[in-house]
Amino acid sequence: MNLWFRLLLMLLRRPWRKPVSAFDTTVVRMRVWPLDLDLNRHVTNGRYFTLSDVGRMDYVLRSGAFRVALRHRAVPIVGDVWGKFRRELKLFETFEIHTRMLGWDEKWSFIEHRFVKDGRVLGMVIMRGLFRSSKGTVLPAEFAVELGLPEQSPALPDWLAAWSASCDQLSGQLRAEEQ
């Protein structure tokens, strides 16, 4: 339930937050609450993925991506998410989620969420997703052009391209198991 309050708080603050370019980094400030904790009394691993949704919503609203999605009558779809955890967050600590676009390929867009406290990256979540309408997937290059970006993505880091290829391979294996 507290995630709904966080989303509502982010939306209420939106009128005072400036729009950003699609390659800018957005920052959302939060605090660790009791419902974020696991039995070890630190933020549970799964909560990082959920908190990333709030950071991503802020990014989509401030970058104007929501307007492009509305024009296409498209909804965002998360395809895969990966997390790396370095340090823990404990009860009542404040932290920030820094969200930015890494780039895109023929099908997927890649978003990075860095969890930062006192200037240190405590964890990172990478998401690959897309926008889908009743006509199918909105091509990321087309989406980028409508956001005022070049059609060609910046070069994706090798580790990101490898991770995406691994996700595609696993998806193929899962489809094969269904038949």
What pLDDT, in 10s, does the model give residues 19-34? Answer: 899 999 999 999 999 9
- Tokens 């395809």 belong to residue: 79
pLDDT band at 72 (very low <50, low <70, confident <90, very high): very high
pLDDT for the residue 81: 97
Q: How far apart are CA 36 and CA 112, in angstroms?
A: 21
pLDDT for the residue 1: 43
Interhelix angle 45-63/2-13, nearest 10 degrees? 20
User: 3-state DSSP call for residue 160?
Assistant: helix
**Cβ within 8 Å of residue 25, ≥6 positions away:** 98, 99, 100
Q: Which amino acid is at 163?
A: W
Q: What is the pTM of this model?
A: 0.91
**How much is the average pLDDT of 106-117?**
97
pLDDT at 126 over 70: yes
Percent of the chain with pLDDT over 70: 97
Q: What is the dihedral of CA 146, 133, 17, 28, to 10 degrees?
A: -120
pLDDT for the residue 15: 66
Domain ranges of the chain: 2-154
CATH topology of domain 2-154: Thiol Ester Dehydrase; Chain A (3.10.129)
